[in-house]
Amino acid sequence: MAPPPNSSSVAVVASGLAALGIWRLLAVAAPHLGALVIMLQTETDFVSRIGFLLAWGILNFTWIALLRRPALSGALSLTLVVILVLLSRLKHDIMQMTANFVDLMVIDRDTAAFLFTIFPDLRWSVIGAGLVTIPLMYALWWLDPFRIRRLPAAAAALACVAALTGYAFAFPDEAWRSYYDDGYLSKFARSGVTAVSDFISYGFMESDAIASERLKLPLVDSCHPAGRRPHIIMIHDESSFDIRQAAGIKVPPGYGGHFKSFDGKERIFLAESNGGPSWFTEYNVLAGLSSRSFGRFSYFVTRIATGRVERGLPLALRRCGYSTISLYPAFGAFMSARSFQSSTGIERFLDARDLGAKDVEPDSFFYDKALRLMAEQPAAKPLFMFVYLAANHFPWETRFRPELTPSWRSPGNEPVVDEYLRRQAMSADDYAAFVARLKKQFPAEPFLIVRYGDHQPDFSPRLLDPDLDDAGIGRKLLARDPRYYGTYYAIDAINFEPAKSPVVMDTVDAAYLPLVIQEAAGLPLDPSFEEQKKIMLRCNGLFYACKDGAEARRFNRLLIDAGMIKGL
C-alpha cells in the first residue's frame, strides 16, 4: 500500500499549480495591457480610440476563431499592431505619411526590394524577429488554459467589422490627417473600410462605364514631322515655385528669372500634390493623365499604373524615332519608378545606383551625367531625356552643401525659407551652366527644354495663409485651392524655334505637359493626344477639374477601350 502523501509536498505542488495558473492568466492579459498602452500613446482623441478598440477586437476575435486560444491570439494581435506602428513610423520618416490599408492592397516586390536596399539590416532584423517570435508563440500555445468556441468568436469578429464600418462612415478619416505622425491603427482601420468601398464602386481608377466613340490606334510609322526634330529635355525641378506668391517674403536680387520661358513669359503649372509626393507629377508628365482619377488610391498611382497604363509621352516620342532615357535620383524600386517609367516608354532608366550617386546630389551632378549620355547618342537620332532633380528636396532645416554657395547672403526670412531660397539659387545657377555647356558641346544641335516645379514645398501653405491652423489648411488642400498647387513651367530652346500652339497656355494642368511638349516641338500627335488636345482647348487648360472629373472619366474609358489602359 502506498504511503499517504506528505502535506508539505501537497502544499508545494498546490502553490506551483497556483503560480502556473497566475502565469497563464498573465499570458492572456498581457497582450491586452500592451495594446492599451499603445492606444494611449498613439491615439490622440476619443474618436480615434474607438477605432483602435474596434480594430483590436477584429484582430483578436479573428485569431480566436482560427486558433481558439485567447493568449496566443492576443499575442499575435499585439505583434501585428506593433509591426503596423513601426512600419507606419518608418513610412512617415520617408514619405511624411502614415501607413494605410491601400499599402496592403498594392504591395509589390519593388517596395520590399526598396526597403531592404535602403535598410540593409532590415532583412536580418526580420529573420531575428522570426527566430524569437516562433518559440514564444509555441510557449503561449502550451501555457494557454482556455479554449473558446469558434462560432461565437467569428460572430464577435463580424460584429466588430460591422461596427467599424459604421464608425468609418460616421467619422470619415480626413486625408490631411495621414500627414500626422499618430493614430496609426485607427487611421489604418478606417482606410480599410473606405478603400474597399471605393474599390468595389469603381476599381482602382475612375472611368465611364461606356463611351459612344472610339480612339484610333496609333500607327508605329505614322509620325512624320516637318523639319528637323529637336532633342527634348524635360527637367523635374524638385519642390520649386515662385515664393513671391506669399506676402512679405524677402528674395535675393534677380530672383524670378528662373521661372521665365524663352519668350520672357512666366507660366503656371498646376500640380496635383503639395509638399511631398513627386510621383503624382511623375505620373502626370509621363502618362499625360491625372492621378486624381485614382481617388484615394492616387498615393500609389505609379505602383498601380505599372504594366497597366501603356500610354504616355515617351511612347509617343518613340513612334517619332526618339530614344528615351530617364535619370532618376533615388532607387528605381521606390514607388515602382523603374517599372512605371518603362510602361510609359522609357527605354533606358538610370537610378541613383546606376549613376553613382552617393547621397542627395546637387543638380550639377545630374546635368553632368546628362551631357555625357548625350555625347554617346547616335548623331542622327533625336533624344528624349527626363532629368529628375532632387537637391531642393526637404528637409530645409539643414544646409545642403554650403560650400557650393560661398557668397550666399540670406535675405532675412525664417531659416527654412532662406535655405529654400539658397537651394533655388543653386538650381538656377546649375541650370544656366548646363545650357551654356549644351551650346558649347553641341553647337549645331537643336534642343527643346521644358522645366516644371513638381509641387510646392510642404511649408508653402503656412506662408500663403499664415492665419490658418492645420485643419484650415487641410480643408483648403482638399478643396484644391490653386494657390497651394500652382508652381511653374518654362520652355527654353537652343538652335530651335518652338512652334506656336494654342495649348501652350499661361496656366495648364500637369497632365497636359506632354501635349505642350509635343506641340512646341512641332511633332504630329497620335489619336489619344489629338483627343486630349480637344479636351484641353474646351476646358481652358483644366483636366480632372473640368466638369467635376467628367472629361477625365470619359477619356479614361476611351483609353481602356483602345487597350492603352488595362486591368483598372
DSSP string, 376-402: HS-TTS-EEEEEE--TTPSP-SS-S-G
Host H or E run for residue 139: helix 122-143
More confident residue, 175 or 211: 211
- Per-residue confidence (pLDDT) for residue 550, from 0 to 100: 96
Amino acid identity at 275: G
Burial 201-229 (b: 16+ CB within 10 A, else e): ebebbbbbeebeeebeebeeeebebeeeb
- Per-residue confidence (pLDDT) for residue 172, from 0 to 100: 77
More confident residue, 101 or 465: 465
- Per-residue confidence (pLDDT) for residue 10, from 0 to 100: 44
Question: How do residues 406-450 score in pLDDT, each as one tens digit?
Answer: 999 999 999 999 999 999 999 999 999 999 999 999 999 999 999
Burial 285-297 (b: 16+ CB within 10 A, else e): bbbbbbbbbbbbb
So what CATH class is 231-561?
alpha beta
Domain boundaries along the sequence of the chain: 13-202, 231-561
Q: What is the CA radius of gyration of the chain?
A: 28
Nearest to residue 494, comparing CAs of 525, 450, 524?
450
In which order are the strands placed within the sheet that holds 323-327?
348-350, 323-327, 383-388, 231-237, 447-453, 489-494
Mean pLDDT score, 445-459: 96
**Which pTM was predicted?**
0.81
- Percent of the chain at pLDDT > 70 equals 86
Contacts (Cβ under 8 Å, ≥6 apart) of 160: 54, 55, 57, 58, 61
Q: How far is CA 544 from CA 200, 306, 404, 507, 548, in A?
A: 22, 21, 41, 14, 7
Mean pLDDT score, 42-59: 91
Of 119-133, 326-340, 373-387, which gets the smallest average pLDDT?
A: 119-133
> In this structure, are residues 307 and 300 in contact, taking their beta carbons and an 8 Å threshold?
no
Place of cell 545642403: 400
- Per-residue confidence (pLDDT) for residue 135, from 0 to 100: 72
Question: How do residues 532-558 score in pLDDT, each as one tens digit?
Answer: 999 999 999 999 999 999 999 999 999
Host H or E run for residue 39: helix 7-42
